[in-house]
Structure 1
Amino acid sequence: MNIIVALLHHIAAFTLVSTLLAELVLVRQPLTVSSARSLRFIDSIYGMSAMLIIVLGVLRVMYFEKGQDYYLHNHAFMLKMTAFIVVGLLSIYPTVVFLRWGKAVKQSQLPVFPDAQASTIQTILKLELAGIIFILAGAVVMAKGYSM
């Protein structure tokens, strides 16, 4: 069971990164009704992946790995969790923007997406991807058995 939970956790993490990259590619192009629909769908996959990472991560910490005492006193784990929280908080703004497009997209109308807003979302997505580096750094340090 440990292997299955770990595998699903990793699949969810790779899915999360893939969705961020897909969103960044789409946001950098001129917005169409089709790309607006795609952004909303991809962002929902992003959210589901994040939730799955949290649930599976909690299961791994509590039941399937080294135990919560190990993780909760490990600085590398705390770096990883802090970075995950920061990435999650950064994701709120793009999600809210994409959700607001719901009515327009359902009516096959182009949502309002000013250049400044597109630029802000591009920057946020890049920051989220940079935050992934800190998550990976914490994971690597933990995998090598260090605490920092």
Structure 2
Amino acid sequence: MLTRWLFAAVHLLAFGFALASILRRTRGLRRCTSTEDLPAIFSADNGWGGSALVLIATGAMRAFGGFEKGAAYYLHEPLFHVKMGALVLILLLEIAPMMALLRWRLAVRRGDVPDLARAPKYARIGAWQTVLVVVMVVAATGMARGIGLDGGE
């Protein structure tokens, strides 16, 4: 019981950190005009990546690791599919910004000036990812209340 509670608490806290981090990164990318802006963007990106790893690990353990209702419950829960669909979209959207930020980090380490022209595009992607994180939270709270399987309340 304690382990289930702790996994749930860490999972929920990771949503908060993920939301804060993606908002910080998006704001930084929107305002990015020079390499002076990059340390804050890289810091936010680290938070986004770390919180995403925690979310995925704790979510997988809760859904398929025997700590919660079990895979059979989740795989038949419509809101679980909404939540996982949002996660897949977030991950697909993350490919371009992740690759760019990796290139930017390498350029900065080499002492080069990275091409920041696409920063506004990555900020728009971050805005969509923010919406999808909120969709995941809404789906999760619906599942916690039994909405979806039997029509809910």
Same fold (TM over 0.5): yes
User: Tell me, what secondary structure is at the counterpart of 1:91?
Assistant: helix
Structure 1 position 112 matched with structure 2 position 115: yes
Residue 146 of structure 1 corresponds to 147
* Whole-Å separation in 2 of the counterparts to 1:40 and 1:30: 12
Give the number of equivalent residue pairs. 146
Amino acid at match of 2:13: I
- Candidates 21, 24, 34, aligned match of 1:22: 24
Maintained 8 Å contact 1:33/1:108: no
The alpha carbon displacement at 1:6 in A equals 1.1
* Whole-Å separation in 1 of the counterparts to 2:108 and 2:100: 12
17-26 vs 129-138, which moves further? 129-138
Alignment of 1:76-87 (within 5 A): 76-87=79-90
The Cα offsets for residues 85-144 of structure 1, whole Å up to 9 and x where unpaired, read as 111111111111111012331245432111xx1221121011111112321221122122
Residue 72 of structure 1 corresponds to 75
58-67 vs 105-114, which moves further? 105-114
Structure-2 change in CA distance of 1:58 and 1:30 (3 Å): closer
Residue 105 of structure 2 corresponds to 102
TM-score by length of 1: 0.89
Maintained 8 Å contact 1:19/1:46: yes
Which runs of no fewer than 5 residues in structure 2 stay unpaired? Answer: none
* Whole-Å separation in 2 of the counterparts to 1:47 and 1:20: 9
Amino acid at match of 2:25: E
Cα-Cα RMSD: 1.7
Amino acid at match of 2:37: S
